[in-house]
Amino acid sequence: MRDALHWANATLAFLLEVAALVALGYWGFHTGAGIPAKLALGLGAPLLAAIVWGLFAAPKARFAVPFAAVLATKALVFGAATAALYATGHRVPAVVFAIVVVFNTTTLSLGRRAGQAR
């Protein structure tokens, strides 16, 4: 049962990461003035977030950083996605997204700490 909950939470984490990229892209395409700006922001914001995530927060990140730096990276990316949703007028989804992200990240972090204690 514990393994099933872990994998369900890990799957939710992946879906939240994808949703963050989608939210950043949505923001970019709706914020930019003119086609070049829309393309630059709509493609650039999620690309930048994915690069930062891959460097510091991914399970097989390019750089091994302290756990606090991983959490800071997640806060940066998920916070930007939440702000992007909020800025585009999706206030309730932004709040729900933020709550689910905090719950998911906390649960995974506690599970990680418990696994290290064994």
Rounded to two decimals, what is the model's pTM? 0.89
**pLDDT at position 118, please?**
41
**Residue 20 predicted with pLDDT over 60:** yes
In tens, the pLDDT along 52-64 reads 999 999 989 999 9
In tens, the pLDDT along 37-46 reads 999 999 999 9
Q: Are the C-beta atoms of residues 62 and 55 closer than 8 Å to each other?
A: yes
Domain boundaries, given as residue ranges, for the chain: 2-117
- Give 109's pLDDT tier (boundaries 50, 70, 90): confident
